[in-house]
């Protein structure tokens, strides 16, 4: 019986009943509506989500630990539809960040092992998205990466290294394509 209990605990470690219930309750809401309700429900579950943040859809949130302690989203952010947060380690999102549709933030991976099993020991490293950054649609951020303040990640980019503040990166793997101005042009101000 002890062995069965241990197996069940391992297999169900990623099941978070309150989060699943919230997802089921919010599922009927169409995308691009009720963003404040989604924020309020996640905040009610203990997630740190700043005022003025808009969730255009319910993000997929996975992990094996106390999820609410591993995700922090700042004020006045916008999360597009289909975003995916894998919380094996903390994900910290600053103020004024925009995540476009289907952004993937990963915190766990595996070391490369011998030829008989390439996925060796698992590891988890935090992901940080600093204030004012913008992550383009379907961009992927890998474990341990920090996206600097005001940085732009182009759509479809795969980011496996830190991105300097106020730079734009693109490609697979992402490389700097230009520095981004820190101030608005005169015609926008």
Catalytic residues, by residue number, are: 110
Going by C-beta distance under 8 Å and a sequence separation of 6 or more, which residues neighbour residue 110?
Answer: 118, 119, 120, 121, 122, 123
User: Does the bond joining 173 to the residue before it have cis omega, within 30 degrees of 0?
Assistant: yes
Backbone angles phi, psi at 48, to 5 degrees: -90, 95
36 and 84 Cβ atoms separated by less than 8 Å: no
Judge contact between 162 and 127, C-beta under 8 A.
no
């Amino acid at each position: 019986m002890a062995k069965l209990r241990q197996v069940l605990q391992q297999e169900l470690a990623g099941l978070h009943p309150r989060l699943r219930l919230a997802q089921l309750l919010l599922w009927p809401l169409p995308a691009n509506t009720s963003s404040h309700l989604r924020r309020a429900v996640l905040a009610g579950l203990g997630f740190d989500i700043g005022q003025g943040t808009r969730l255009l859809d319910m993000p997929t949130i996975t992990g094996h630990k106390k999820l609410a302690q591993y995700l922090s989203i700042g004020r006045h952010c916008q999360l597009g539809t289909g975003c995916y947060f894998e919380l094996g380690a903390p994900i910290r999102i600053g103020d004024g960040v925009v995540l476009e549709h289907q952004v993937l933030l990963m915190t766990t991976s595996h070391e490369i092992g011998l030829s008989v099993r390439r996925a060796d020991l698992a590891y988890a490293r935090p992901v940080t998205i600093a204030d004012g950054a913008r992550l383009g649609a379907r961009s992927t951020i890998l474990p341990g990466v920090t996206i600097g303040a005001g940085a732009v990640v182009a759509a479809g980019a795969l980011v496996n290294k830190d991105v300097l503040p106020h730079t734009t990166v693109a490609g697979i793997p992402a490389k700097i394509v230009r520095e981004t101005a820190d101030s608005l042009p005169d015609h926008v101000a």
